[in-house]
Amino acid sequence: MYKILGIMSGTSLDGLDIAFCEFKKSSQKWKYKILKAKTFSYSFQWKNKLANAHKLSAKNFLFLHNEFGNFIGKKVNLFLSKTNEKPDFIASHGHTIFHQPDKKLTFQLGSGAEIAATTNIATICDFRTLDVALKGQGAPLVPIGDELLFNEFDFCINIGGFANLSYSVDNQRIAYDIGPANIILNYLAKTLGQDFDEDGNLGKQGIFREKLFQKLNEIEYFSKPFPKSLSREWLENQFIPVLQKFNYSILDVLRTIYEHIAFQISRSTNFENSVKTMFFTGGGTHNSFLMKRIEHFSKNKIVIPDKKIIDFKEALIFAFLGVLRLQGEINCLKSVTNAGKNHSGGIIFSI
């Protein structure tokens, strides 16, 4: 049995997710529990630092890498001060700043050495770089958890900064990023003075614009075969410029993007004749308007778990990736990332 602290910081900048998880293997099947979990919201200062980290000089970027690792470590200490138990180790994803796998570049901010030193707990981090070195996409990493922990569902869909999908075909896991979700919804909501569009209340006020909808769906990425993954850089260079070509109100753009997200999710899952189960997690699952639009387009059955799984599934699975790494078992699938081989990624900082 392992007791692990899983840590995730998503591209939508909602906050730092910490999940204290327990894993047991029985009859060759992994069982899990989330014992305790909490999201530490980012202050305005930290949101600004993370959002603009890619603009820093190399020296200042490394200073921030250490500072954010120390910040994570302090939040872990605060989290653990409320419990009597200590985890066997920490598994931290960090916060993705750069992701250009075609150039063999990916970087997750938040020094694992600083986390380990601040908490005095062994820390596993940097889960993506080995996959990129092996000519893979370095993402998504969650599908190994879908395969081993949530395989009773036909499709696992996470709606975070980006919406991503995972499913099995002929005993092989397939997964990829579908398209932008909360990252673009939040970006537009902020122009209207809101941090996010709660329940789609802003988007509901807009008018659906067919021409914009068509242009978004024509972006090259959406017709590319998998494996494929998305990043902040792609959003800024490929997606947002399409929005800027139209002189529509922000509310109309928001309304149209809701339709686009729902359409792309259904397009990625409506390819079989029989009705399948779609297991939804991530912050976007709380957005009732978005979920209604997905239901409108989809022919499949939507399954929404309890709030703890919705909010902390990614932190749970990064904890699980740490377990697999510690055991030397595969935690990254070449069928998902197109890497040269299956492998076990992650750097271990022992204390």
Find the domain containing 240 and state its range.
Answer: 144-308
Question: How many other CB atoms sit within 10 Å of the CB of residue 77?
Answer: 13
Q: 256 and 275: one domain?
A: yes
The residue from 292, 308, 324 where one domain ends is: 308
Mean pLDDT of the chain: 96
Q: What is the largest CA-CA distance in the chain?
A: 59
pLDDT band at 282 (very low <50, low <70, confident <90, very high): very high
pLDDT band at 351 (very low <50, low <70, confident <90, very high): confident
pLDDT band at 84 (very low <50, low <70, confident <90, very high): confident
Residue where the block lists tokens 């190994």: 144
Cα 61 from Cα 203, distance rounded (Å): 36
Q: 152 and 120: one domain?
A: no
Q: 117 and 193: one domain?
A: no
Q: 125 and 208: one domain?
A: no
Q: 289 and 173: one domain?
A: yes
The tens digit of pLDDT for each residue in 114-129 reads 999 999 999 999 999 9
Q: 270 and 150: one domain?
A: yes
The tens digit of pLDDT for each residue in 175-185 reads 999 999 999 99
Number of domains in the chain: 2
Name the token pair of 140: 């998504």
- The pTM (predicted TM-score) of the whole model is 0.93
pLDDT band at 173 (very low <50, low <70, confident <90, very high): very high
Q: 37 and 160: one domain?
A: no
Q: 154 and 302: one domain?
A: yes
CA 50, 246, 288, 267 torsion-angle sign: negative
Burial status of residue 69 (CB atoms within 10 A of its CB: 0-12, 13-18, 19 or more) = buried
Q: 285 and 152: one domain?
A: yes
Cα 139 from Cα 143, distance rounded (Å): 9
pLDDT tops 90 at residue 12: no
Q: 22 and 121: one domain?
A: yes
pLDDT tops 90 at residue 90: yes
The tens digit of pLDDT for each residue in 229-267 reads 999 999 999 999 999 999 999 999 999 999 999 999 999
* Percent of the chain clearing pLDDT 90 (strictly above): 95
Q: 224 and 113: one domain?
A: no
Non-local CB neighbours of 249 within 8 Å, separated by 6+ positions: 206
Q: List the CATH number of the domain containing 130.
A: 3.30.420.40
Name the token pair of 221: 């990425």
Q: 122 and 198: one domain?
A: no
pLDDT band at 11 (very low <50, low <70, confident <90, very high): confident
> Bridge-partner residues for 91, per DSSP?
6, 124
